Amino acid sequence: MADKFLIRAFNVAVGDCIYCRIPKARKKGVAIDDFHILIDCGSKGGAAQLKSAITSLKTMLPDAGGGKVRLDLLVATHEHADHIKGFDADDFDGIKIENIWLSVAMDPAHPQAANAMRLQGLAARAMRNIAARNLSLGPELQGIFDLYGVGNDDAVEALGTTLPNRNGITPVYVHADRTPAELRLDTLVGATIKVLGPEENIDRYYLGVDGAEIVHGFTQTTGVFRSPADAVEIVPSNISQSDFRRLRSRMMSAALAFAQDNDKVINNTSAVLLIEWKQKRLLFVGDAEWSNKFVDGNQNGSWNVMWNLRKADLAQPLDFLKIGHHGSENATPWSEDGVAASEPARILDAILPLPQGNGQATAKALVSTARTNTYASIPRALLLEQLGKRVSNGRNYQAELGDSRASALPRYDDLEKPWLDKLQPMRTDLEKILTDKDFVDVEIEA
């Protein structure tokens, strides 16, 4: 309904494409109407689904004149394909974009991310060079390579240059402590959007004070992969072919480990948005990860940084949580063994407290995800079962799907069956089976 805050997650498989409508929160001149936001548009696959989502989005946006519709704010939380792959400038033709927010980690000129950006560039080059050799890779390793596809370059260009130029605006690279004037949401009224992460100093908080050494180590390790275009691989004359293959294998393993470190940094520099509307609190976390404990100067999880530096904003119950990283266990703070004293457990208890006594959970949550045979940890069913106890819109998918449809899910016996009859937050993949709709809606009442 028009007087409710609407969150719509388009079904784009393993990816995020999330539309928000804040009722009567835009004022320009004397006119007051709804404020429209798109947070991310990406997928690990699903190019057709992304195009369909943008087509559907256009039908939900108000007329902006000149044959265009208006989008008040576009947000790209971080630079992974499952969040930005769909930002094709041609697909956004016909949409007048008034503001673009990108994580400060995506600003190529940001001085406090110099080491993080060098690491990202080296990781991208190493992964693309290894991929060019057509080596046989398992599905999990292939997923790491997919993060560095050249399609990301096109999306970054669209977000940072093409779309801003077409709309006569400049992107805002957001981080915590940006003032309202710096965020430039001049038309937003009746609601606030706070940026809780990342911190401006990317290298200090998410790569750590040893970042320069990490980058140097990566440079040394990946030297063997510097010439992928050579048709014939040159084996050093002072080493046998078998020894060289073993050396190359060890170096590739090391390169993959560094690339996974870089992957964590990118996730942890996701733009995290807290939207407050009519005393309701809605948190959109991108793929922010957590670690066991915050340590200043170390590689930290974004959740831990926010908990220690932004506790006044974070440590209150939420009314809505966009579950991070498609339900992966690394992106929602929790304790698998139930250790309540741990920092991650305290964070979860603060934002989504368990109901006490005969009380009922009041918060809602949503996860944009897809169970596949490739990503065993996405979604982590045990995590979703724990979250299901803390939200009011939990679903018993085993009962709703029935045995025949449930048993047809990928990895059903080992990854779904033990938990599917427990309450879980709404999942885009299973809602698609139940409703045949290409989106899932959650409404928040004032």
What region does 229 belong to: left with phi over 0, alpha with psi -120 to 50, or beta? alpha
pLDDT of residue 231: 37
From the CA atom positions of the chain, what is the Rg in Å?
A: 22
Q: Is the pLDDT assigned to residue 24 strictly greater than 90?
A: yes
pLDDT band at 245 (very low <50, low <70, confident <90, very high): low
Q: What is the pLDDT of residues 107-124, one digit of tens each?
A: 999 999 988 888 888 777
Banded model confidence at residue 187, pLDDT cuts 50, 70, 90? very high
**pLDDT mean over 228-240:** 48
Token pair in block for residue 188 = 């937003």
How many other C-beta atoms are found inside a 10 Å radius of the C-beta of residue 373?
9
pLDDT digits (tens, 9 = 90+) for 33-49: 999 999 999 998 778 99
Cα–Cα distance for residue pair 80/156, rounded to 1 Å: 10
Residues ≥6 apart with Cβ < 8 Å to 321? 282, 283, 285, 332, 351, 352, 363, 364, 365, 366, 391
What pLDDT is recorded for position 292? Answer: 92
Whether residue 410 has pLDDT greater than 50: yes
pLDDT surpassing 80 at residue 422: yes
**Mean of per-residue pLDDT scores for the chain:** 88
Q: Which of 318, 314, 316, 317 is nearest to 303 (CA)?
A: 314
Mean per-residue pLDDT for 142-156?
70
Does 344 sit behind a cis peptide bond, omega within 30 degrees of 0 on the bond before it? Answer: no
pLDDT band for position 129 (cuts 50, 70, 90) = confident
In the prediction, which pLDDT does 72 show? 98
Q: For the purposes of burial, counting CB atoms within 10 Å of the CB of 222, is it exposed (0-12), middle (13-18) or buried (19 or more)?
A: buried
The answer to whether residue 436 scores a pLDDT higher than 80 is yes
pLDDT at 329 over 90: yes
Going through 29-165 in order, the beta strands assigned E by DSSP cover 31-39, 63-65, 68-71, 73-76, 95-97, 100-103
Contact 278/292 with Cβ under 8 angstroms?
A: no
The model's confidence at residue 232, banded by pLDDT at 50, 70 and 90, is very low
pLDDT over 50 (residue 400): yes
Q: What does the pLDDT read at residue 419?
A: 95
What is the b/e burial string over 348-361, where b = at least 16 CB atoms within 10 angstroms of the residue's CB?
bbbbbeeeeeeeeb
First to last CA, the chain: 12
How do 31-39 and 73-76 pair as beta strands? parallel
How long a stretch of residues is the chain? 446
DSSP annotation string for 280-339: EEEEE-TT----SS--TTS---HHHHHHHHSHHHHSS--SEEE-GGGG-TTSS---TT--
* Closest-CA residue to 372 (of 324, 327, 425, 439): 327
Query: Band of the pLDDT at 138, cuts 50, 70, 90?
Result: low
Domain ranges of the chain: 5-227+238-444
Helices 241-268 + 114-131 axis angle, to 10: 140
